[in-house]
Amino acid sequence: MGRYQKSPRLGNWRYGSRTCLCALAIAMIAVLIISLQSCSWIVAGAANTVYPSLASPEETEAPPTFTTYYPSAATEAIFGGRGVGLDCSIPKPLKALAFRTSAEGAPISLQFRQSCVMHDLCYRHGYATYGYTQAQCDVMLQESAYRLCRQINKSTREETRSSVAAAYTECETEARKVLLGVTLGGGGSFKSKGRSTYFEYDPMPTHADDYVVGRAVDDATAQATVGDLGIRTFHILRQTMSMRTLTNNPAASTHDEQKGTPRLFPDRRIATPPQLTGYPDSGSRVAMASLVSIARKDLKTTELKLYEVQALASSQSGAGAYDLQFKACPDRYDSPCGTDVDASIHKFVMVDRKPVLLSVTHRGSIPGIDSNPCPSDGKALGSAVKVVQKSIMFDVRQPAESPQIICKNGRKSPAWPMDDYPLNAKTLMRQKYRFMQHDVLIEKNAVNQATHAWVLGRGAKLSNKTAGHEPLFEEDSAGSTYQTHVVVARQALGNRKFTEIDRFELEASETDEPFQLVRLGGSHGVALMSLGWKAADRARVSDDQTPRAPPILKLWRVPGKDRNASQQPMTVSLPEALKDRYTDIPPVMARLSTREEPVLIFAKLSPPPTLNQEEEAAALDFKDTTVASSIVMDLVVISLMPQADTSIRPLIMQQLSCEIDLRKQLNNEKASDIRKGAYRAQDLTAPNKTGVEQENSHATARGMTDLANRWRMSQLIASELRSADNMRALALTMVFNGFPGMSVQVRFKTRDGNIEAGEPVTVDDYFSCASPAIVAKS
């Protein structure tokens, strides 16, 4: 939740050369705390005075949990967070002074962890991805903390009107104290233009009204247009959405010819970025949607409706342009089309060859395990954390093909609803919020079908295993091990799989997060995976300093029969070439059809940005116009090779270095808006024609700096395409931030499991690569 000096976490102070002074200050605070025991009202009064008019959320749903959007079917994982972890600890002096011990007894940093994680990611990736400012990140933290506090207090107090009202009033103050803390101490940690990097983490970006996301399409769609790069970008502007086809087609003479017409989202709902559900299955009798958008009803509730995003050829734009159409899935029993599931975690997956909206909810009632699909049948056991599966079928079968079940209440139900699975069988968990802090992870098989959902939690523990029974999650009000251990519920997906759940504990610290789930290939199974740094380097990377060693991978496998044994991770050191700044842009794990082992793709842009932005601004203010005229994009493709002894050997498959000539790009026709903006910033009129002789040196320096910063904030997408000679190719696309018409793509042919370089194709002259590769550019 912010940081003091240059740590991305509220509790991670950096002393530097002022160690003695800071130690003295902490000692003085400690003395003050001793004299002000139970005087948190002082901080509360300050917070309520500074923020007297903050509007409280009207609904009581849980706050959103971060998610990871996969932009292509080939994407296995994306490692956001720069590898420095999600440590949400609060300094003990501040915690003792500002917060009282709650009735639940859990640490404040555990209670607010869900909000803190979102805030950390907002500070690191919010600007580049959604255009969030630091103020927006802080206000969203306050809203999230308030929602979370209401959930916790409501579950620990007697259900009376007066006690609940008092709990909500206290939560307003607690949320304001959290906001006051990050406002006073978090300024140095926010990553703004050029330092923020692209990572989609917000499942409901309602505070963003102008941003772009990229998605890869399947081979059949990509080959429909000559020069198609297989990438579609979606521009969300307030309540409208438009789509662009990225292509290097010479016939596209202007950058607007691949843009479709902006379409207002139906029912004035708030659109979210389209998500992949799986490509259409020609053998299925029921059509599947490959792109679906979750639309919120308004800014106050999480009630949602699903729309299939369809692209239709545009009659008004150039070749390759498409207009969007939004098709609502039909309202029927057990449909997610219009629902208020009160879940902060949603994921689209393919289960048994059907697209499914998978949710983790904390307030749904549990029907009896042996009940039939009628929701009112069976004994409800109360609220619980459970995995909810809802099949998404956008074309409804004919009545004759839809066998009906008559429920006891007289309501008819189709015969294909999907079962829900409580994480703790019939035993309820009071501290449900501890399982809502991390994105649900999906385990897949060799044909890309989801087989299991992994729900992670901190601050819980497993009971001792008894004869004939699997261990369950126990209440642990202290949450004493939350910083070093995580519990896992691994639930099989599909119907009638109530008993197919594993519960176990892993030794994994907060600084190991966020986790991803990766299939290792062959008979080596899956592993929970984390990308990070050794402890000695983590602080250096957080402070934008060069680490002493390369990044590391940590892997946790599914435990054996002894579920109670604490499972320590296996550590894999990555190649030395990745030591400097290769985790700034979130690395991507891809699954290729030509090889069993996954590949890990790293990208770096150099030179690094100017860290002191005041100095950068002064340099552009007529004092110094010396700006780098080019930047270098380095790409490294690594294969993770499982060994016979279960270890993992990272192997560099390909390296490529590409130069981006910023001066040439600034003079490109597609950069006209950036060029005009640079001139307007200097109170100058941009020339009608490009050319070095007409340049203003200060405006040119500002424009090239803007371009360099946008490259660092661009989205990296790994996908598969079929080349003209019918070979498969690994396509790496950098979707240029804000102006996708200037995106670039590099292709590597894949043959017999190897990743090869190929022949380059014609590109604009500001992008060139040093070694042979198939290169394409929009």
Residue type, 747: R
Yes or no: say if 125 and 197 are a contact pair by the CB < 8 Å rule: yes
744 pLDDT band, cuts 50/70/90, is very high
Whether residue 620 is predicted with pLDDT greater than 80 in this model: the reply is: no
Nearest to 639, CA basis, from 467, 767, 741, 518? 518
Sheet (strand 570-573) strand order: 516-519, 526-532, 552-557, 570-573
**Tens-place pLDDT, residues 180-205:** 777 776 667 889 998 999 999 998 89
User: Which two tokens mark 168?
Assistant: 């909500």
Nearest to 367, CA basis, from 436, 422, 409? 422
Nearest to 141, CA basis, from 99, 112, 167? 112
Whether residue 240 is predicted with pLDDT greater than 70 in this model: the reply is: yes
Best-predicted range by mean pLDDT (440-454, 552-566, 685-699): 440-454
The secondary structure of 523-556, three-state, reads CCCEEEEEEECCHHHHHHHHCCCCCCCCCEEEEE
Yes or no: say if 54 and 173 are a contact pair by the CB < 8 Å rule: no
Strands (E), 432-513: 441-444, 450-457, 461-462, 473-474, 485-492, 501-507
Nearest to 139, CA basis, from 168, 170, 182? 182
What is the structure's pLDDT at 176?
84
Helix pair 672-681, 697-712: axis angle to 10 deg: 130
- What percent of the residues of the chain are helix, what percent strand, and what percent coil, each to the nearest 5? 25, 30, 45
**Tens-place pLDDT, residues 101-135:** 665 678 888 888 999 999 999 999 999 999 999 98
The secondary structure of 183-206, three-state, reads HHHCHHHCCCCCCCCCCCCCCCCC
What is the structure's pLDDT at 666?
93
Best-predicted range by mean pLDDT (162-171, 316-325, 349-358, 616-625): 349-358
What is the structure's pLDDT at 531?
96
CA distance 598 to 522: 11
pLDDT cut 70: percent of the chain above it: 69
Cβ count near 146 (within 10 Å): 25
Average pLDDT over residues 238-245: 88
HSE, side-chain direction, 13 A CA sphere, residue 572: 22
41 pLDDT band, cuts 50/70/90, is low
Average pLDDT over residues 551-580: 84
What is the structure's pLDDT at 57?
66
CA distance 442 to 348: 10
User: Which two tokens mark 47?
Assistant: 């917070």
CA distance 637 to 21: 46
CA distance 255 to 778: 9
Burial code (b: 16+ CB inside 10 Å, e: under 16) for 503-521 equals bbbbebbbbbbbbbbbbbb
Q: Vertex 283, ends 279 and 286: CA angle to 5°?
A: 75
What is the structure's pLDDT at 516?
95
Pairing assessment for the beta strands 338-339 and 383-391 based on DSSP bridges: unpaired
Best-predicted range by mean pLDDT (237-251, 262-276, 522-536): 522-536
Q: Vertex 437, ends 527 and 392: CA angle to 5°?
A: 75
Average pLDDT over residues 469-475: 79
Yes or no: say if 537 and 574 are a contact pair by the CB < 8 Å rule: no
Which residue in this structure is represented by tokens 């110094």?
Answer: 624
More confident position, 738 or 57: 738
Whether residue 600 is predicted with pLDDT greater than 90 in this model: the reply is: yes
Which residue in this structure is represented by tokens 């040093």?
Answer: 770
CA distance 376 to 624: 73
Strands (E), 69-119: 75-78
User: Which two tokens mark 509?
Assistant: 């610290």
CA distances from 624 to 251, 663, 765 (A): 41, 17, 27
Whether residue 139 is predicted with pLDDT greater than 50 in this model: the reply is: yes
CA distance 567 to 389: 29
Output the furthest CA–CA distance in the chain (Å, rounded): 85
User: Which two tokens mark 542?
Assistant: 């957080």
Yes or no: say if 405 and 415 are a contact pair by the CB < 8 Å rule: yes
Burial code (b: 16+ CB inside 10 Å, e: under 16) for 84-112 equals bbbbbbbbebbbbbbbeebebebbbbbbb
CA distances from 101 to 104, 177, 480, 490, 710 (A): 8, 14, 14, 33, 45
CA distance 374 to 414: 10
CA distance 696 to 699: 5
441 pLDDT band, cuts 50/70/90, is very high
Residue type, 576: E
Cβ count near 576 (within 10 Å): 9
**Tens-place pLDDT, residues 677-723:** 998 887 777 766 554 445 688 888 899 999 999 999 999 999 998 87
**Tens-place pLDDT, residues 5-32:** 334 444 333 333 333 334 334 444 443 4
Residue type, 45: G
What is the structure's pLDDT at 727?
81
Whether residue 752 is predicted with pLDDT greater than 50 in this model: the reply is: yes
Yes or no: say if 594 and 722 are a contact pair by the CB < 8 Å rule: no
300 pLDDT band, cuts 50/70/90, is low
Whether residue 388 is predicted with pLDDT greater than 60 in this model: the reply is: yes
CA distance 394 to 331: 10
Mean pLDDT of the chain: 78
* Rg, C-alpha atoms of the chain: 26
Read off the DSSP letter of residue 402.
Answer: S
Cα distance from N-terminal residue to C-terminal residue, the chain: 39
626 pLDDT band, cuts 50/70/90, is low
More confident position, 465 or 541: 541
- What are the residue boundaries of the structural domains of the chain, listed by start? 16-65+85-189, 602-777
